[in-house]
């Protein structure tokens, strides 16, 4: 007995096509137990078309879908990402005086202690003036010369260091569509204008042309429209608007000044008067945008800020204004309807978690796939897990703002002095006032961000423990000096051996 023999995905953005390709691979490949998967989308409505930076989990997801890594470079304009560079978040200064990096690779353990402990040991004694992101890990060495985390001969989805991708979201959806439809997913075009609801959830959707489509399971991938889970099933919305203030974005790609322009192997997130701007180098263009709070900045002012960022660079399209609803549905799996992507919720894109949330929801959905459609235990567990994950991401994003030293605009004063800090984050901050972060401090059901991720932000913004720091007090400085000297050696070797990002993408395109 299988619970679902037919699945209807409504919406053909990244969420819809990722669901189609993933579920077809996992549920639809047994000819003795056919599961019919259909995706319907309204081309005239279009997808949001942003979502250019990712986190490392995407590697495993693409691999699980059987997609060769080279396809990203030939079909989705991809480059590799070592992490994020934050500019202007400490006090509003320039890249020379005010920046810190959040790379993917976690701090390693040397001589029995994490590099967080070694660095604190030296820092508190005044024996090291280097920032943690430079002294405590290898990956930021790759930022400076625009180097690739992969060697030219690294096999698919493998590298000496953790990495993710920058890519064109529309091209990624097209790639996933090609994969899904070639493997049997049916594709319909048409606008859903009516959703029939009954006791068991969704009964059918009706298209503008009169067609009526039915399935055992419906997946809402309609973006911010949230047509099935929101409008039809009326599942309540959990808003994060009181703690995450940015609710709009303006996005616009710009041309590279020349075809051999060095490609930055990190995302740049620059703090601005009412939010932050992103710059993401793809092979053929740079994606840019300003994420801002509409209570602190008009659309015209946001546009002007983005144009200032562009300088003399040539915009490749008209800037697009986007409204963002920050929070999530109280239940992302309700009866026979699962919501993925923006239909289920959204956290502003500072740490590139949008696509990750789609991946995570798909994996958890399969983990809790019920024995019968009416079983409720797994569904409740799924909803609790997803709710907790959203809370975790909210806390992690909020951390970047509330511990900033900026007070120069009403936006920054509101964030640092007025905003509602959830108890879950406040408890961590209080604890980390006394000690260095450890993974056991973060009591979440599942976590994307571990203690090392938090420490990159805390150290970057000078929010270090004000009192003693546990084991580091007892550690002879020479042990820590040796440990960090070892890191410095590996950094130098990594710079020697790594190709530039441009060299790497050229090699991948030539395969
Ligand atoms: C400013 C901004 C920046 C972002 N940056 C990142 C990032 O760097 N990294 C990241 O991981 N994520 C990012 N995201 C999130 C990312 O864009 C989304 O998670 C991802 O694109 C998934 O979108 P979606 O498929 O849920 O929705 P959409 O792309 O909006 O797709 C919705 C689909 O539903 C269809 N549809 C709507 N109504 C109907 C209807 N009535 N009938 C039929 N079909 C319908 C549309 O045709 C479309 O195909 C960002 C989001 C924003 C707003």
Distance in Å, CA 379 to ligand 1 centroid: 24
Which residue segment(s) compose the domain that 215 sits in? 6-78+167-239+329-375
Distance in Å, CA 472 to ligand 1 centroid: 46
Do 215 and 317 lie in a common domain? Answer: no
Distance in Å, CA 169 to ligand 1 centroid: 9
Distance in Å, CA 356 to ligand 1 centroid: 13
Q: Where are the alpha helices (DSSP H) in 188-298?
A: none
Distance in Å, CA 320 to ligand 1 centroid: 14
Q: In ligand 1, which atom is closest to the CA atom of 324?
A: 53
Do 117 and 171 lie in a common domain? Answer: no
Do 337 and 430 lie in a common domain? Answer: no
Count of structural domains, the chain? 3
Specify the pLDDT at position 95: 86
Note down pLDDT in tens along the chain; length 511 residues.
678 999 999 999 999 999 999 999 999 888 888 899 999 999 999 888 887 999 999 999 999 999 999 999 999 999 999 999 999 999 998 888 999 999 999 999 999 999 999 999 999 899 989 999 999 999 999 999 999 999 999 999 999 999 999 999 999 999 999 999 999 999 999 999 999 999 999 999 999 999 999 999 999 999 999 999 999 999 999 999 999 999 999 999 999 988 889 999 999 999 999 999 999 999 999 999 999 999 999 999 999 999 999 999 999 999 999 999 999 999 999 999 999 999 999 999 999 999 999 999 999 999 999 888 888 899 999 999 999 999 999 999 999 999 999 999 999 999 999 999 999 999 999 999 999 999 999 987 778 999 999 999 999 999 999 765 677 778 999 999 999 999 999 999 999 999 999 999 999 988 7
Minimal-distance CA residue to ligand 1 atom 35: 11
In this structure, are residues 156 and 68 in contact, taking their beta carbons and an 8 Å threshold?
yes
Distance in Å, CA 34 to ligand 1 centroid: 29
- CA 263, 264, 269, 271 dihedral sign is negative
Q: Which of 14, 189, 220, 390 to mutate to test the pocket of ligand 1 (most atoms within 8 A of CB)?
A: 14
Give the list of residues 6+ apart from residue 381 with CB closer than 8 angstroms, or none.
368
| Entry field: residues in the chain | 511
Do 317 and 353 lie in a common domain? Answer: no
Distance in Å, CA 507 to ligand 1 centroid: 31
State how far the alpha carbon of 360 is from the alpha carbons of 22, 196, 355, in Å. 12, 28, 9
Do 232 and 253 lie in a common domain? Answer: no
Distance in Å, CA 118 to ligand 1 centroid: 43
Distance CA 494, CA 105 (A): 13
Minimal-distance CA residue to ligand 1 atom 48: 47
Do 207 and 255 lie in a common domain? Answer: no
- Note whether residue 145 is domain-resident: yes
- CATH code of the domain in which 34 resides: 3.50.50.60
pTM beyond 0.75: the answer is yes
Helix-, strand-, coil-residue percentages of the chain, each rounded to 5:
40, 20, 40
Specify the pLDDT at position 235: 98
Which residues lie with the beta carbon below 6 Å from any ligand 1 atom? Answer: 10-16, 40-42, 45-48, 50-54, 169, 191-192, 221-223, 225, 227, 249, 251, 289, 322, 324, 341-343, 349, 352, 354-355
Minimal-distance CA residue to ligand 1 atom 18: 354
First to last CA, the chain: 44
- Note whether residue 460 is domain-resident: yes
- Note whether residue 89 is domain-resident: no
Minimal-distance CA residue to ligand 1 atom 33: 11
Do 343 and 312 lie in a common domain? Answer: no
């Amino acid at each position: 007995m299988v619970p679902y023999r037919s699945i209807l995905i409504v919406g053909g953005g990244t969420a819809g096509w990722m669901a189609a390709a993933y579920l077809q691979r996992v549920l639809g490949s047994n000819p003795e137990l056919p599961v019919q998967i259909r995706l319907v989308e309204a081309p005239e409505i279009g997808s949001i078309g942003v979502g250019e930076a990712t986190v490392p989990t995407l590697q495993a997801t693409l691999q699980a879908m059987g997609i060769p890594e080279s396809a990203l470079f030939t079909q989705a304009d991809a480059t590799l990402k070592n992490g994020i560079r934050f500019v202007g978040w400490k006090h509003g200064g320039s890249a020379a005086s005010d920046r810190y990096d959040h790379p993917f690779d976690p701090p390693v353990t040397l001589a029995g202690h994490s590099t967080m402990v070694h660095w604190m040991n030296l820092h508190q004694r005044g024996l090291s003036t280097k920032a943690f992101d430079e002294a405590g890990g290898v990956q930021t060495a790759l930022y400076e010369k625009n180097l690739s985390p992969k060697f030219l001969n690294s096999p698919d989805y493998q590298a000496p260091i953790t990495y993710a991708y920058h890519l064109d979201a529309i091209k990624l959806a097209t790639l996933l569509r090609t994969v899904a439809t070639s493997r049997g997913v049916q594709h319909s075009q048409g606008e859903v204008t009516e959703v029939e609801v009954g006791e068991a959830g969704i009964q059918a959707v009706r298209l503008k042309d009169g067609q009526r489509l039915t399935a055992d399971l419906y997946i809402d991938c309609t973006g911010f429209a949230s047509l099935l889970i929101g409008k039809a099933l009326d599942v309540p919305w959990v808003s994060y608007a009181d703690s995450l203030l940015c609710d709009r974005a303006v996005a616009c790609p710009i041309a590279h000044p020349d075809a051999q322009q060095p490609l930055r192997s990190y995302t740049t997130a620059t703090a601005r008067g009412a939010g932050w701007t992103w710059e993401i180098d793809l092979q053929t263009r740079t994606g840019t945008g300003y994420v801002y709070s509409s209570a602190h900045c008009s659309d015209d002012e946001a546009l002007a800020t983005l144009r200032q960022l562009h300088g003399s660079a040539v915009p490749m399209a008209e800037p697009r204004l986007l409204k963002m609803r920050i929070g999530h549905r109280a239940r992302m799996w309700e009866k026979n309807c699962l919501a993925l992507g923006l239909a289920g919720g959204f956290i502003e894109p500072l740490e590139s978690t949008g696509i990750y949330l789609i991946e995570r929801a798909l994996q958890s959905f399969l983990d809790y796939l019920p024995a019968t459609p009416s079983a409720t235990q797994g569904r409740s567990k799924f909803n609790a897990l997803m709710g907790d994950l959203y809370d975790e991401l909210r806390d992690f994003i909020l951390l970047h703002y509330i511990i900033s030293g900026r007070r120069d605009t009403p936006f920054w004063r509101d964030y640092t002095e007025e905003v509602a800090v959830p108890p879950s984050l406040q408890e961590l901050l209080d604890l980390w006032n006394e000690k260095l972060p450890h993974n056991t401090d973060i009591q979440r059901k599942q976590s994307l961000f571990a203690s090392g991720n938090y420490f990159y932000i805390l150290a970057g913004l000078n929010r270090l423990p004000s009192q003693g720091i546990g084991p580091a007090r007892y550690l002879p400085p020479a042990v820590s000096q040796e440990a960090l000297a070892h890191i410095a050696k590996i950094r130098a070797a990594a710079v020697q051996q790594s190709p530039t990002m441009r060299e790497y993408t050229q090699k991948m395109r030539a395969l």
